Structure 1
Amino acid sequence: MDALMASYASGSDDDGDEPAPVTGAAPDPEASAALPPPPLDLLQPPNFIDYSALAQGNRVRSFPHVEGIYALHVYIPVVIPFDARKQLTLVMRRAATLVPDLYAVDADYALSELCKDEQKLEKVLLGREFHVSLGRTVGIQVDQIDSLVAMLRQKFQSQQRYWMDFNKWEHFVNDDSTRSFLSLEVTRTGLPEISRQIHMVDEVYRLHGLPEFYKNPRPHISLVWALGDVSSKLKHAAKEIEKFQSSISSSKNCNLRCNFSRVVCKVGKKVYDICKIAD
């Protein structure tokens, strides 16, 4: 599985003049003990959440810094519907008891701390944007960006809306075994459509000399991560979560259902809309 990007912006093509280059220098030892908390407003609103005690994850970038090379990621944005968050909140609380030292994907806040406050858990973990990868996260030369984006837009110009059912809890490990993930996988509804889209991205990657996606793609969104390869723990956790969900819900068909409506290409810090289906 691709190593995840540091964050996904929600801007458009004109949110910057040039994409930010990939940087992979080792973090400053004095600054790497913990990520800084989000900036706080001078006047705190009534629903203010204090994040300062939550940030414990430590991120190391996957790409070395090379001048003129930018991190490329093509994906389907996924936002968890409000009515699905209540059960997922219960699931994440259960996961925190099964596997210690889990962190929210991209936010890098400790799950055990988030679980102490339902508002924090829903806002920091479940209220953010997730993604289904359609291609590997790779480095791209600056002179390839315009061509690649144009080809992707041409490929995806006739896409239609479809449902994606994230119906199975699964674990994944990134390519260099530095992080493991607890994820929701699409194994039925939506799988044929996503597989076709992955093939389309592969064709564009191939024309630009970039590595194609995995031979047997398994579309998913990752919610939490742990340091290193902890496959056995997450495999056990996934089974226990399935049992737990069966005991609290009569629905066994789907953990999360979302509508496909958009494909995004992120190059460095710049985000390009590849296709967007009107509501």
Structure 2
Amino acid sequence: MTGLNLIQEYLSDTDEEIENSNNENKKLFKDKNINIKLPLPESILSWKGVTYNEEVIDDPLKHDGRIRSFKHERGNWATLVYIDYLPSDNILFWMKNVIIHFVGTSNLFEEFHMSLTRTLILKFHWIDSFVEAVKNIATNYQNFSIELQSIKIYCNEDATRTFVGITVQSTNNILQNIIRTLDKLMTDYQLPIYYKDASYHISFLWCLGDQRKKLEALLPSLIANFNDFFVDHPDQRYVQIDKLKCKIGNKLYNFNLQ
């Protein structure tokens, strides 16, 4: 028997063994109702630096009682475009005193920001183009300042949390122009635009449930205390803004203004 014939016979025998083995495996799986789930390749588990996760079951007890406003779903990424606010030590001390002397049971935010979009649900395959678009928007605007103006009470749409916020206004309406430009981008992606009757603000305290009635009764005292603070610290009423930020999942992007 020639070498070629030996190879052909070996391949034929091997194919027959594989076919027999496959038939036996299929019968075994059918008989025992076995469902085999192949592991996801490592190359996919950590796309774009965003860790892959199995289905997430929300547990409010792990988040001080807070409830997610939308269900976590694989392939959907919670997204927000915003401006950072870093309070001075004096303002931070004032915020803590608001809890002690006025509000009582509430929580101080660990980080402070002013939202420029709603919290969005972004599909994975949109991320690169969305990030590039926000970057281009940032490069079309110059640095600007915002003024901390007053105090206002807010409640989220499903009435699960109430917030105490500092209302803000920008010089030359730059803030409104940026949000208007971002709204056009949202429309391109068929995402919800910013709130129609927007009140630009920086939330600094929150509490569970709808506490508007209780907190709005305290509002005159809160506003008076806020104004007294800036009589003593007039230089801290204005904040310089030099970048936009975008958080997508657990990844943070920084975009410098002109």
Give TM-score, length-normalised by structure 2: 0.72
CA shift digits 1:184-209 (9 cap, x unpaired) = 011x4447111111111111111011
Distance 1:24 1:258 in 2: 38
Equivalent in the alignment of 1:257: 238
Q: Deviations over 1:154-202 (max 9, x none)?
A: 222121111101111111111111000001011x444711111111111
**Residues matched between the structures, number:** 212
Maintained 8 Å contact 1:76/1:131 = yes
Aligned identity (percent) is 24
Q: What's 2:126 paired with?
A: 144
User: In structure 2, what is the equivalent of residue 270 of structure 1?
Assistant: 251
What CA RMSD, in Å, does the superposition of the two structures yield over aligned residues?
2.7
What do the CA deviations read for 1:34-78 (whole angstroms, capped 9, x no partner)? 66xxxxxxxxxxxxxxxxxxxxx3332222121100101000111
Change (3 A) 1:226 1:21: farther
Q: Determine the structure 2 residue equivalent to 1:114.
A: none
Letter in 1 for 2:207: A
Change in Cα spacing, 1:234 to 1:145, as seen in structure 2 (3 Å) is same
Measured in 1, the distance between the counterparts of 2:58 and 2:117 equals: 26
Measured after TM superposition, the shift of residue 254 of structure 1 is 8.3
> How has the CA–CA distance of structure 1 residues 195 and 249 changed in structure 2, closer, same or farther, with 3 Å as cutoff?
closer
- The aligned residue for residue 74 of structure 1 is 81
Q: CA deviation at 1:21?
A: 6.7
Q: Of the candidates 54, 59, 64, which is equivalent to residue 66 of structure 2? A: 59
Aligned equivalents of 1:255 and 1:98: distance in 2?
22
What residue is the counterpart of 2:195 in the other structure? 214
Give the one of 154, 168, 185 matched to 1:204: 185
Unpaired segments ≥5 residues, structure 2: 1-45
Which has the higher relative contact order, 1 or 2, with Cα contacts under 8 A spaced 6 or more apart? 1
TM-score by length of 1: 0.67
Q: Deviations over 1:231-259 (max 9, x none)?
A: 12222333212223455663697873210
Q: Which residue of 2 aligns with 1:240?
A: 221
Distance 1:246 1:202, change over 3 A: closer
State the 1:262 CA deviation: 0.7
Q: Which residue matches 2:6? A: none
Correspondence for 1:17: 48
Name the structure with the higher helix share: 2
Q: Distance in 2 between matches of 1:63 and 1:24?
A: 12
CA–CA distance in structure 1, aligned partners of residues 211 and 172 of structure 2: 27
Give the whole-Å Cα distance in 2 for the aligned partners of 1:24 and 1:88.
34
